[in-house]
Amino acid sequence: MNGEEKVVAITGASSGIGEATGRLLAGRGARVLLGARRMDRLETIRGAIQSTGGVAQIHPLDVTRRKSVEDFVKHAKQTFGRIDVMVNNAGIMPLSPMSQLKVDEWERMVDVNIKGVLYGIAAALPFFTEQGAGHFVNVSSVAGKVVFPGSAVYSGTKFAVRAISEGLRMENLPGIRSTVIFPGIVVTELANSITDEQMARNIRERRDAFAISPDAIARAVAFAIEQPDDVDVNEIVVRPIKQDR
């Protein structure tokens, strides 16, 4: 089965990479379930997809709550009869020097960026196993490959996404694929979660100077899931051409 008519569940789908991925895949014939907390935004996106003939449904989702993620994935199965791809995209990026001891923000990053991915895997894996097929697409970051001042905890969470995905791949569960996407600087709302003024200013300046569209990441997701069933695209790094690290 190629990308057409696959059932794709996407977390963090109310904006940025999640929204772009939902719109692109639906435009290519996939049936998408969009999850996020902002239902008003999801309603708008669903309407836009349906207006062009695409198939999309929405469901409230808080990836920090295991039950919420379970309900989200079950809704995909109940609505479409199966689930083929789980895109664990939801993430936050409140960068700050560790010396500021923003422990609440550290914990929030762990909850969203790591536990949210684990909850997504735990919710979808039984269905994939039952079907004998399935595909996890986990969105990390180039910060999951390179650490820079202010990114220690954020990078730690994104390194973890890569480790979890690679471990899952190496377990070689029959028919189950694992892809990690490492976006560089992309036009998203991630910078809005940064409370450190200097870090926020630096990120905004770099974003305004050369950030790429979230559509670029959506195309990477589409490339991975549209491969033949015996092909597993494990890692894709997508940076702006001007980004140095």
List residues with catalytic annotation: 154
- Per residue, what are the HEC states of the chain? CCCCCCEEEECCCCCHHHHHHHHHHHHCCCEEEEEECCHHHHHHHHHHHHHCCCEEEEEECCCCCHHHHHHHHHHHHHHHCCCCEEEECCCCCCCCCHHHCCHHHHHHHHHHHHHHHHHHHHHHHHHHHHHCCEEEEEECCHHHCCCCCCCHHHHHHHHHHHHHHHHHHHCCCCCEEEEEEEECCECCCHHHHCCCHHHHHHHHHHHHHHCECHHHHHHHHHHHHCCCCCCCCCEEEECCCCCCC
Place of tokens 């269905």: 127
Question: Length of the chain in residues, anyone?
Answer: 245
